């Protein structure tokens, strides 16, 4: 049944069988042309629960498990497919893994077309930086995540720094270098501490906060010497900021931008926030330091300026814009970095608090109608996640260790998002005893509580149930808050 009504034209579409949704993307385009609305937009309309769609989530970390978990809370989502997914996504109902690499654009396209995937949600930055959105969109698929041009905001620190400087976004003072001699003499003139950054993507390892000039010079030599491959072709040298870091993930349709709840994560491996940088060892949301006044300032001075600057460059940026900020002891803020995707592990604490259905927000971004959405609704309370990592991470670690205790942790009320896990080969998917470790960060034990203390206590009670050989976790997550 298709009918139209309302002052503008709103088109209501009811499908009775999944087969009838075939070609939804094409139909969506056609109807958008005709009426300025599309059936996917109408999915957001609560009255039409009968429409169901399949979503493909690209990635295999804790962030992607959390995205799939959140999407599956909606009855409108018939199925989520994760490419390639992990042991956790393999064991959820209505969820299946697809053994394809995140940059196998052709394979993902073939599958999505054959299986009537209505929407592709891209988790990690690497496929975005390689142009997954451009490719899939050119094949008629609907994708959440910026184009290759937009993803430069994360994929090139020099590009992002220039954009911030042009747009007047508060950020650390920085100079970009193309060779070591000039970079080293700049460092000598500036003194330490100072921050040395490889321009491109380096999985969190391309940033050295140098305590001495000598450390900075070693980092410069390593970067120009090829340690980070082409990511080190340019080196950004930046003033060292102090304070508390906060992550503000925002959803945007390229014109409107809306922040999600703020979060704080712990990047360093050791308690007391010392030691090597990691992908993140734990997080909590909302971040008490990010008061509503501060978020309003960040919205005005960072998020809106960034979207306007992207638009001025002709970049139609639809997806997540993640601002990593340093809040100085005086309460000023400066952007440390932009990311072009959901944060990991921030997503694992932000999504459990989200009340507005995630797919409604995502579709509003993809269809460029975020401004028409009601305010994003949140649950009261706090979410905390603690990461269980493999011994040796972020350095060398072993994989294949049997994991036990997840059911017990969940029985205590925690949600365990999997990051580096896989179902033991030959074992039936979904049998948790057959799970083994498959990465550095293995699990995110997550709890939602009425307040920070409650969530923290529950997350730690949960993680204490879990065991695998060599397991390591930080015992001081949220120490700034306590």
Residue with smaller CB distance to ligand ATP, 265 or 359: 265
**Which span sits near ligand ATP by CB under 6 A: 42-50, 199-207, 391-399, 454-462?**
199-207
How wide is the angle at C-alpha 82 spanned by C-alphas 81 and 87, nearest 5°?
A: 115
Please identify, using beta-carbon distances, which residue of 122 and 403 lies nearer to ligand ATP. 122
Burial of 114 (0-12, 13-18, 19+ CB in 10 A): exposed
> Interacting stretch for ligand ATP, rule CB under 6 A, among 88-96, 181-189, 213-221, 240-248?
240-248
CB of 37 to ligand ATP, least distance (A): 38
Residues 393-422 close enough to bind ligand ATP by CB under 6 A: none
> Using the rule CB under 6 A, is 205 a contact of ligand ATP?
yes
Q: Which of 203, 312, 371, 402 binds ligand ATP (CB under 6 A)?
A: 203
Closest approach, Cβ 172 to ligand ATP, in A, equals 4
Binding of ligand ATP at residue 207 (CB under 6 A)? yes
- Residue 435 · residue 87 · CB < 8 Å: yes
Of the candidate spans 175-183, 204-212, 365-373, 437-445, the one that interacts with ligand ATP by CB under 6 A turns out to be: 204-212
Interaction of residue 241 with ligand ATP, rule CB under 6 A? yes
Q: Which residue is nearest to ligand ATP (CB)?
A: 206
CA-CA distance, 65 to 333, in Å (whole number)? 31
State how beta strands 117-122 and 143-144 pair. parallel
| Partners of 83 in the β-ladder | 58
Q: Which stretch binds ligand ATP (CB under 6 A): 108-116, 135-143, 200-208, 362-370?
A: 200-208
Site string for ligand ATP, 270-289 (x = CB under 6 A): -------x------------
245 binds ligand ATP (CB under 6 A): yes
**Which two three-digit tokens encode residue 102?**
């995140």
Q: Choose, by CB under 6 A, the member of 39, 324, 343, 394 that binds ligand ATP.
A: 324
Q: Identify which of residues 88 and 206 has a Cβ nearer to ligand ATP in the complex.
A: 206
- 213, 240, 255, 270: which one contacts ligand ATP (CB under 6 A)? 240
Show the binding pattern over residues 417-456: x = contacts ligand ATP (CB under 6 A), - = does not.
Answer: ----------------------------------------
Whole-number minimum distance, CB 96 to ligand ATP, in Å? 30
Looking at beta carbons only, is 39 or 200 nearer to ligand ATP? 200
Which member of 13, 164, 201, 365 binds ligand ATP (CB under 6 A)? 201
Query: Per rule CB under 6 A, is residue 209 in the interface with ligand ATP?
Result: yes
> What is d(CA 446, CA 459) in angstroms, rounded to the nearest whole number?
6
Q: Is residue 64 a contact point for ligand ATP (CB under 6 A)? A: no
Residue found under tokens 């040298």: 237
134 versus 245: smaller Cβ distance to ligand ATP: 245
Q: Is 104 in the site for ligand ATP (CB under 6 A)?
A: no
| Span interacting with ligand ATP, options 176-184, 193-201, 350-358, 370-378, rule CB under 6 A | 193-201
Residue 323 binds ligand ATP (CB under 6 A): no
Give the interface segment with ligand ATP, choosing from 80-88, 205-213, 249-257, 436-444 (CB under 6 A).
205-213
Nearest to 468 by CA among 428, 427, 419, 429: 419
Query: Binding string to ligand ATP for residues 144 to 183, with x set by CB under 6 A, is what?
Result: ----------------------------x-----------
Please report how many Cα atoms fall inside a 13 Å half-sphere around the Cα of residue 468, on the Cβ side.
30
Task: Please tell me whether residue 194 binds ligand ATP under the rule CB under 6 A.
Answer: no
336-365 residues in contact with ligand ATP (CB under 6 A) are: 336-337
Contact call for residue 233 and ligand ATP (CB under 6 A): no
Rounded CA gap, 259 and 320, in Å?
9
Size of the site for ligand ATP (CB under 6 A): 20
What residue ranges bind ligand ATP (CB under 6 A)? 172, 195, 197, 201-207, 209, 238, 240-241, 245, 267, 277, 324, 336-337
């Amino acid at each position: 049944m298709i009918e139209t009504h309302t002052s503008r034209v709103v088109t209501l579409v009811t499908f009775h069988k999944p087969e009838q949704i075939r070609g939804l993307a094409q139909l969506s385009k056609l109807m958008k042309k005709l009426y300025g609305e599309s059936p996917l937009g109408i999915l957001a309309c609560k009255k039409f629960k009968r429409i169901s769609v399949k979503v493909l989530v690209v990635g295999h970390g804790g962030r992607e498990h959390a995205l799939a978990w959140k999407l599956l809370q909606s009855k409108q989502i018939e199925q989520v497919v994760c490419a390639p997914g992990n042991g956790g996504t393999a064991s959820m109902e209505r969820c299946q893994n697809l053994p394809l690499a995140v940059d196998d654009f052709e394979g993902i396209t073939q599958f999505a077309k054959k299986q009537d995937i209505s929407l592709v949600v891209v988790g990690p930055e690497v496929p975005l930086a390689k142009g997954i959105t451009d490719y899939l969109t050119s094949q008629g698929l609907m994708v959440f995540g910026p184009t290759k041009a937009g993803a430069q905001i994360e994929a090139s620190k020099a590009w992002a720094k220039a954009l911030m400087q042009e747009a007047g976004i508060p950020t650390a003072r920085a100079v970009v270098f193309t060779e070591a001699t000039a970079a080293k003499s700049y460092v000598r003139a500036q003194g330490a501490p100072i921050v040395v950054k490889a321009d491109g993507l380096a999985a969190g390892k391309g940033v050295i906060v140098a305590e001495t000039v000598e450390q900075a010079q070693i980092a410069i030599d390593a970067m120009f010497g090829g340690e980070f491959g082409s990511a080190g072709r340019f080196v950004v040298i930046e003033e060292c900021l102090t304070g508390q870091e906060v992550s503000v993930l925002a959803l945007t349709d390229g014109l409107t931008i809306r922040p999600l709840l703020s979060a704080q994560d712990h990047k360093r491996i050791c308690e007391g926030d010392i030691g090597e940088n990691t992908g993140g060892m734990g997080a909590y949301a909302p971040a008490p330091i990010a008061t509503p006044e501060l978020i309003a300032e960040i919205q005005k001075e960072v998020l809106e300026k960034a979207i306007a600057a992207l638009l001025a460059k002709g970049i139609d940026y639809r997806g997540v814009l993640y601002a990593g900020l340093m809040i100085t002891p005086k309460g000023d803020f400066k952007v440390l970095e932009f990311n072009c995707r959901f944060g990991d592990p921030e997503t694992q604490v932000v999504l459990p608090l989200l009340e507005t259905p995630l797919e409604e927000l995502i579709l509003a971004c993809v269809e460029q109608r975020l401004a028409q959405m009601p305010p994003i609704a949140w649950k009261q309370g706090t979410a905390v996640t603690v990461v269980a990592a493999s011994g040796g991470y972020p350095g060398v670690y072993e994989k294949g260790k049997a994991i036990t205790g997840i059911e017990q942790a969940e029985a205590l009320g925690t949600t365990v998002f999997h990051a580096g896990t896989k179902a033991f080969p030959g074992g039936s998917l979904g049998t948790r005893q057959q799970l083994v470790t498959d990465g550095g960060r293995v699990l995110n034990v997550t709890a939602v509580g009425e307040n920070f203390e409650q969530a923290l206590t529950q997350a730690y009670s949960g993680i204490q149930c879990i065991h695998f050989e060599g397991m390591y976790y930080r015992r001081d997550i949220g120490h700034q808050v306590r």
